[in-house]
Amino acid sequence: MRPTLAPFPMTRLRRTRRTPALRALTCETALGVGDLIWPIFIREGEDVEESVPSMPGVARRSLDRVVEAAQEAADLGIPAICLFPYTDPALKTEKCEEAWNPENLSNRAIRAIKQAVPEIAVMTDIALDPYNANGHDGIVRDGIIVNDETVEALVKMALAQAEAGADILGPSDMMDGRIGAIRKALEETGHSDVTIMSYTAKYASAFYGPFRDAVGASGALKGDKKTYQMDPANSDEAIRLVERDLMEGADMVMVKPGMPYLDICRRVKDAFGIPTYAYQVSGEYAMLMAAAQNGWLDREKVMMESLMSFKRAGCDGILTYFAPEAAKRLRAG
C-alpha cells in the first residue's frame, strides 16, 4: 500500500510545510464547533453561578443560568450539552430514589432547556453517584456494588430522563447489561428515538478528582470504583466492552478519560468505525488550566492542540469543559 519514498534530496518533507497555504492543503484533521459537547454542572437556586475551585472557569449554575448557558452554546453552534447535578446531600440515600424522581434537578433542567432551546441536544448522565449516600455509581450491599439491582435503578433513571426530553442518554456507571436493559425499556415505552452514548471504556482514573468536587461526591465516596471501572493497564478489554455495548444497542461509544487514553480511541475507531467520543475529563482540564494560570503554558494553544489530538486519534467529538471557549476560538477562525 504505502509507496516507497524517494531518497533525500528528491524527497524533502519540509516542502509541504513551507507556507500556510501548503500546510492548509496537507492538513489531515479538522476540528469544528460541531465536534464539541459541553458538560455543565447544575445546582438549586436562582440566579447563582458558584465557581468550582479545582476547575477554574467552571461553575455550578442554577436552572435559569443553565438555560442561559444552553442558549449561549446553541448560539455558538455547539450541538450538545451534558448535564451533571450537584445534589443536596439531604437527598442522598442508600437506595438512590432521587435518581428517578421526575422532578429531580436534572430532569427539571432537561425540560427547561428543551422548552427554551429546543435545537440543542441534551445529554444526561446515568449513574447513581450523585444520589448515593455511599458515593458509588451503583447500589452498595454489604460493601459490594450489586450489578443487577443497580441496572433496574438505572433503567428507571433513564426512563425519567427520556420522559423529560433528553436526546442522548449517557450511562456512565459501567454495570454489566445496562445498555441492553435501557434500550429495551426505551423501545417498550415509546422512546425508540432516544440515543445512547455509552461510557463504554471508562477507566478507574484519578483524573476525575475535580469532577467529584464539582458534584459534591468526593466526601461521600467510600473506597474506589475498581470493581466496575476499567484498569488503566487494559486495552483489549476496551474492545470487548465496545463490542458488547454495540450488541446491546448503543448508538455511540465513549472513551474516558481522554488524553491519557488516545490509544484506546484509535483502536476503537479502527476496530468498529462507529461514532466514537472522548471525554476530556475534569483532571485534564484542571491540569491545563493550572499550568496556564502559572504562566507555564499558553491556555488557548494547549486547549486547541489537546482538542485536535482527539480528532486525530479518530474521535468524532469531544466532551470538554473548554467547549464555549474553543467554539469562540474556532468561530474567530
**Annotated active-site positions, please?**
202, 256
Instruction: Please give the C-alpha separations between residue 31 and each of 215, 220, 323, in angstroms, as whole numbers.
Output: 29, 38, 12
Nearest residue (CB) to ligand PBG, 212 versus 312: 212
What's the CA gap between 131 and 85, in Å, rounded? 9
Residue 218 sits in the site that holds ligand PBG (CB under 6 A): no
Parallel/antiparallel/unpaired status of strands 144-146 and 168-169: unpaired
Q: Which stretch binds ligand PBG (CB under 6 A): 85-93, 122-130, 189-197, 294-302?
A: 122-130
Least separation in angstroms between CB 145 and ligand PBG:
12
Least separation in angstroms between CB 261 and ligand PBG:
13
Q: What character string, x for contact with ligand PBG (CB under 6 A) and - otherwise, covers 44-63?
A: --------------------
Least separation in angstroms between CB 2 and ligand PBG:
39
Least separation in angstroms between CB 71 and ligand PBG:
23
Q: Which stretch binds ligand PBG (CB under 6 A): 6-14, 91-99, 155-163, 206-214?
A: 206-214
Least separation in angstroms between CB 35 and ligand PBG:
17
Nearest residue (CB) to ligand PBG, 97 versus 187: 97
Q: Measured between alpha carbons, how far apart are the two ends of the chain, in Å?
A: 36
Residue 129 sits in the site that holds ligand PBG (CB under 6 A): yes
Q: Which of 41, 208, 310, 322 binds ligand PBG (CB under 6 A)?
A: 208
What's the CA gap between 109 and 114, in Å, rounded? 8
Parallel/antiparallel/unpaired status of strands 168-169 and 317-320: unpaired
User: Which amino acid, residue 145?
Assistant: I
SS3 156: helix
Least separation in angstroms between CB 137 and ligand PBG:
5
Q: Which stretch binds ligand PBG (CB under 6 A): 93-101, 125-133, 154-162, 236-244?
A: 125-133
Q: Which of 282, 306, 309, 320 binds ligand PBG (CB under 6 A)?
A: 282
Burial of 307 from C-beta contacts in 10 A (0-12 / 13-18 / 19+): buried
Cis peptide before 257 (omega within 30 of 0): yes
Contact present, 307 and 326 (Cβ < 8 Å): yes
Residue 87 sits in the site that holds ligand PBG (CB under 6 A): no
Neighbours of 239 (CB within 10 A): 18
Neighbours of 219 (CB within 10 A): 9
Q: Which of 127, 162, 168, 330 binds ligand PBG (CB under 6 A)?
A: 127
Nearest residue (CB) to ligand PBG, 125 versus 167: 125
Residue 125 sits in the site that holds ligand PBG (CB under 6 A): yes
Q: Which stretch binds ligand PBG (CB under 6 A): 22-30, 109-117, 207-215, 243-251?
A: 207-215
Q: What character string, x for contact with ligand PBG (CB under 6 A) and - otherwise, covers 144-183?
A: ----------------------------x-----------
- Candidates 33, 109, 105, 32; CA nearest to 69 is 109
Contact present, 202 and 172 (Cβ < 8 Å): yes
Q: Residue with C-alpha cell 448560539?
A: 75
Burial of 23 from C-beta contacts in 10 A (0-12 / 13-18 / 19+): exposed
Q: Which stretch binds ligand PBG (CB under 6 A): 99-107, 141-149, 160-168, 205-213?
A: 205-213
Residue-wise burial string across 135-152, b where 16 or more C-beta atoms lie within 10 A, e elsewhere: bbbbbbeeeebebeebbe
DSSP letter at 230 equals B
Residue ranges in contact with ligand PBG by CB under 6 A: 125, 127, 129, 137, 172, 208, 211-212, 281-282
